[in-house]
Structure 1
Amino acid sequence: MLIAFLFIGNVSISYAQEENNEKDKFFVSAQIRTRGEYRNGALYPRNESDLPSGFINERARLSLGYERQRLSLKFSAQHVGVWGQDALVDKNGRFILNEAWAAFEFNDYWFMQLGRQALSYDDERILGGLDWNVAGRYHDALKIGYRKNGHQLHGIFAFNQNDENVIGGTFYDSSKTKLYKNMQTLWYHYDFASTPLQFSIMAMNLGQEGGDAESRKSDTQYMQTFGTYIKYAPGQWNLSGAFYYQFGKNVSSRSVSAFMGSARASYNINKSWSVNVGTDYLSGNDKSDGTYKAFNPLYGTHHKFYGAMDYFYASDFIGGYNPGLSDTQIGVGYKVSSSVSMGMNYHYFATAVKLENLERSLGSEIDYQLDWKIMKDVSLSLGYSVMFGTSTMDIVKGGNHNSWQDWGWISLNINPQIFCK
């Protein structure tokens, strides 16, 4: 398995063609990103009898872009999957558009972007691109924006259906897509010119289909998420915090009252060493009736925050539980040279609410990652993580905490950039 991993690569080639008119530009980029993984308790804890698994996944992506004065277009198609997933002779290949949008600038301040696009905001807790995932995450939406003197304002609007319906109302079956039926989001961001301070506010109204699939009777439930993100980076410090509150109704028509908060601090001791500490708290629910109090981080990039093994919010809780999460973490980074760096982070997990007859502690996770820039456009990355769970982890996530739980990955990235005028 290790020998196979060493052949993993990421190849990305970009080409830019400038027309005779200097205001017209055409871009072409191609990417192959592959990653090998060894899973022995990733996403969910394993039982004692479960054997480890291994695979190599791949993203093959081709992107085209065009810019002319105030007009921009981008089309990006990709094929994603696991090595060996498709037959040697395959007439039904999977090749989809992951980006297809057009942007138009009305003037120096206002713009519009329409189509399939990534929505990535602030530290990606609520809306994130999820680039770690082989497929990424994209939305079909209309974005209207304003930017001037450090101020940014975005309005995002989406309405989803399964097909071009002739009759039958607007019922939306989200069982396969896991998407919302409609969404309206307002985001405001300001960069303070005189200090290294950034401030954002987000307000989202999410419409989820709670109707009946058989009768196609629509019953849209609306949940609101409102919150703020602040970042302050003076000198060798990098400080950030976020708070979000949810209310309204979830897809099960239950009233919602939930919140999450986070705080991060990192400090560069010198050119080689850095340290970081942080805490996250996402409220949980301990009853099956009444107000629903478990916070939903929606479409964020959860891999960045709640442990690299993705036990939380990248996979579901089981047994009807959604106890929330308390995540306390501490880490250290070391830059060996200008081309080699590494980091190690420790997470202590607990439920946000105490479940009956159960300890709140879920366990501890240790994540290690090494990045080595071998030469220009060539880099090697690898990671290894272990989880030490508890009996409470067995109840809310499954598996057996007495079994050894670990996960490893390795990736070789080759990224030549070519620009032709």
Structure 2
Amino acid sequence: MIQKSFCAIFLFVLGLGPISLTAQSLEIDADLRARFEYRHGFNNLFPDNADPAAFVNQRSRLNFNYTTEKLQLFIAVQDVSIWGDTRQILAVDGNDSFSLFEAWGQIQMNENWYMKLGRQVLTYDDERIFGGLDWAMQGRFHDAALLKYRKDGFMMDLGGAYSQETDRNDGNDFRIQGFFTYKALQYAYLKKSWEKSSASFLFLNTGFQDFDVNDVADGVSYRHTTGTYFKFPIKIINVTGSLYYQFGKANATTDLAAYQMSLEATYKKNKVLYGLGLELLSGTDQDGAAKNNSFFPLYGTNHKFNGFMDYFYVGNHANTVGLNDFYAKMVFTTGEKSTVLVKGHYFTANAALTGDADAYLGTEMDLVYTQALMKNVNLNVGYSHMFASESMSLIKGGRPHDNTNNWGWIQLIINPNIFKADLGTPSN
């Protein structure tokens, strides 16, 4: 089933036929990764009288990239599954794990302007607001249209999306209510780059379908996110930071006013990179407030931030007390093709916890070893440990804080280019 789908897409790309009287090329890349995980308190405090979880997750992805002088067509198909989730000798994959990850076309209209539309990854800056979420095997995509401008170190993207469940003759209610799944999206992203510095500006407007007490569609609430990301050197120190503000509506009846700010400084000496940083994400008092003051980073690669154990903003921690994350890290170059990351986080609540509880939530330690085994083959090994405080229980459903909370994983990534060809100049 999967092999037939891959072959059908491959033949489709090859059979595009005459598009322009310029040279054509086709590349096919593979991305196969398998990750074993041991979970004993990952994403949430470990409950009493429970057993840890262990499994292997695998992504099998093929990327097809067709280009001519002013046209690019990209298609990515993938299968994401857990080892053992399909019974042996079953004629079909019963878990619907095969999917179309990307399918977009880009047209170059002139020297500086491009148009891109279709299913695509949106990723900018450090991926805090928009990111590809590559850690998750399935990744993150948007069905969107972009107008792009590029010239002399300046770029501008104007994007938009409109979501509907199916074609219909009446009505526009949108009932796919996944985590921050939007009905409509519009954004403007501008960035200027210099030799060693850059600064960007984002304005993002996301609309979410509302329903009344009778479950009838009742308009769209809009959340606005605007801010900047920057990086620049100060002699031998590299500085990066961001500042964002969210306003508009948290839902149909609640106003929103929230902020995010971050600052990180890194310094490399010999074979060690040192880093210090902080991130503040505003929150709403646990005992309630007139406005929602909880910032949420929406469509970013949130696994990169606030500890690898994903206690915050990875499918959780929305509309709650926010977070103050103070961290330090060191990256050791341990060989010609290997590194070790050591990172520690100190977490506190940004808003008040119920009963004036202590704001300190816990400390997390992350270790990640990376080794290039050969060309296009990389090994990653990680271990994380959360030292949770009693206050962590207040934001994690009352689960006990004093059980052991740790997580370990091993991942192998194989991502070769398996086909590359000049298809020549098409004939009329």
Does TM, normalized by the shorter one, top 0.5? Answer: yes
Residue 279 of structure 1 aligns to a residue in which SS? Answer: strand
1:179 aligns with 2:181: yes
**Structure 2 counterpart of 1:322:** 320
Tell me the alpha carbon deviations over residues 286-315 of structure 1, each in whole angstroms, 9 at most, x when there is no partner.
143511111111111111111000000003
Matches within 5 A, 1:261-340: 261-270=261-270, 272-286=271-285, 287-317=287-317, 322-340=320-338
Q: For 1:35 and 1:252, locate their aligned partners in 2 and report how far apart those are by CA, in whole Å.
A: 40
Residue 295 of structure 1 aligns to a residue in which SS? Answer: coil
Residue 43 of structure 1 aligns to a residue in which SS? Answer: coil
1:366 aligns with 2:365: yes
Q: Is the 8 A contact 1:112 1:145 kept in 2?
A: yes
Q: TM-score, normalised by structure 1?
A: 0.90
**Structure 1 counterpart of 2:160:** 157
Match of 1:352 among 316, 341, 350: 350
Worse-matched range after superposition: 408-417 or 388-397: 408-417
| Identity percentage of aligned residues | 34
Tell me the alpha carbon deviations over residues 224-249 of structure 1, each in whole angstroms, 9 at most, x when there is no partner.
11100001146643210000001111
Residue 391 of structure 2 aligns to a residue in which SS? Answer: helix
Q: Is the 8 A contact 1:208 1:221 kept in 2?
A: yes
**Structure 2 counterpart of 1:385:** 384
Instruction: Please state how far the C-alpha of 1:378 moved relative to its aligned partner.
Output: 2.9
Instruction: Please state how far the C-alpha of 1:49 moved relative to its aligned partner.
Output: 1.6
Q: Is the 8 A contact 1:316 1:397 kept in 2?
A: no
**Structure 2 counterpart of 1:251:** 251
Instruction: Please state how far the C-alpha of 1:283 moved relative to its aligned partner.
Output: 0.3
Q: TM-score, normalised by structure 2?
A: 0.89
Q: For 1:206 and 1:353, locate their aligned partners in 2 and report how far apart those are by CA, in whole Å.
A: 25
Matching residue's letter, 1:279: L
**Structure 1 counterpart of 2:99:** 96
Q: For 1:30 and 1:375, locate their aligned partners in 2 and report how far apart those are by CA, in whole Å.
A: 16
Residue 159 of structure 2 aligns to a residue in which SS? Answer: strand
Q: For 2:253 and 2:124, locate their aligned partners in 1 and report how far apart those are by CA, in whole Å.
A: 28
Instruction: Please state how far the C-alpha of 1:217 moved relative to its aligned partner.
Output: 2.2
Q: Is the 8 A contact 1:35 1:409 kept in 2?
A: yes
Q: Is the 8 A contact 1:161 1:181 kept in 2?
A: yes
Aligned-pair Cα RMSD in Å: 2.2
Tell me the alpha carbon deviations over residues 115-159 of structure 1, each in whole angstroms, 9 at most, x when there is no partner.
000000111111111000010000000010101001100001000
Q: Is the 8 A contact 2:30 2:418 kept in 1?
A: no
Q: For 2:62 and 2:187, locate their aligned partners in 1 and report how far apart those are by CA, in whole Å.
A: 30
Q: Is the 8 A contact 1:124 1:301 kept in 2?
A: yes
Instruction: Please state how far the C-alpha of 1:252 moved relative to its aligned partner.
Output: 4.0
Q: For 1:372 and 1:64, locate their aligned partners in 2 and report how far apart those are by CA, in whole Å.
A: 27
Q: For 1:332 and 1:206, locate their aligned partners in 2 and report how far apart those are by CA, in whole Å.
A: 37
Instruction: Please state how far the C-alpha of 1:47 moved relative to its aligned partner.
Output: 1.6
Residue 210 of structure 1 aligns to a residue in which SS? Answer: strand
Instruction: Please state how far the C-alpha of 1:213 moved relative to its aligned partner.
Output: 8.9
Structure 1 gaps, min length 5 = 1-15
Q: Is the 8 A contact 1:210 1:253 kept in 2?
A: no
1:142 aligns with 2:145: yes
Instruction: Please state how far the C-alpha of 1:108 moved relative to its aligned partner.
Output: 0.9
Q: For 2:233 and 2:86, locate their aligned partners in 1 and report how far apart those are by CA, in whole Å.
A: 47
Residue 394 of structure 2 aligns to a residue in which SS? Answer: helix
Residue 232 of structure 1 aligns to a residue in which SS? Answer: strand
Instruction: Please state how far the C-alpha of 1:253 moved relative to its aligned partner.
Output: 2.6
Distance 1:215 1:378, change over 3 A: closer
Q: For 2:324 and 2:216, locate their aligned partners in 1 and report how far apart those are by CA, in whole Å.
A: 39
1:341 aligns with 2:368: no
Q: For 1:406 and 1:67, locate their aligned partners in 2 and report how far apart those are by CA, in whole Å.
A: 46
Q: Is the 8 A contact 1:170 1:218 kept in 2?
A: no
Q: Is the 8 A contact 1:209 1:251 kept in 2?
A: no
Distance 1:90 1:243, change over 3 A: farther
Distance 1:22 1:235, change over 3 A: farther
1:32 aligns with 2:32: yes
Instruction: Please state how far the C-alpha of 1:200 moved relative to its aligned partner.
Output: 0.0
Residue 417 of structure 2 aligns to a residue in which SS? Answer: coil
Structure 2 gaps, min length 5 = 1-12, 422-428
Instruction: Please state how far the C-alpha of 1:31 moved relative to its aligned partner.
Output: 2.4
**Structure 1 counterpart of 2:86:** 86
Residue 129 of structure 1 aligns to a residue in which SS? Answer: coil
Matching residue's letter, 1:111: Y
Matching residue's letter, 1:95: F
Worse-matched range after superposition: 308-317 or 401-410: 308-317
Residue 219 of structure 1 aligns to a residue in which SS? Answer: strand
Instruction: Please state how far the C-alpha of 1:22 moved relative to its aligned partner.
Output: 6.6
1:127 aligns with 2:101: no
Q: For 1:246 and 1:85, locate their aligned partners in 2 and report how far apart those are by CA, in whole Å.
A: 40
Tell me the alpha carbon deviations over residues 40-69 of structure 1, each in whole angstroms, 9 at most, x when there is no partner.
000111123221110000111122221111
Q: For 2:274 and 2:148, locate their aligned partners in 1 and report how far apart those are by CA, in whole Å.
A: 37
Q: Is the 8 A contact 1:119 1:138 kept in 2?
A: yes
Instruction: Please state how far the C-alpha of 1:188 moved relative to its aligned partner.
Output: 0.2
Worse-matched range after superposition: 351-360 or 89-98: 89-98
1:189 aligns with 2:191: yes
Q: Is the 8 A contact 1:242 1:261 kept in 2?
A: yes
Aligned residues: 400
Q: For 2:212 and 2:80, locate their aligned partners in 1 and report how far apart those are by CA, in whole Å.
A: 32
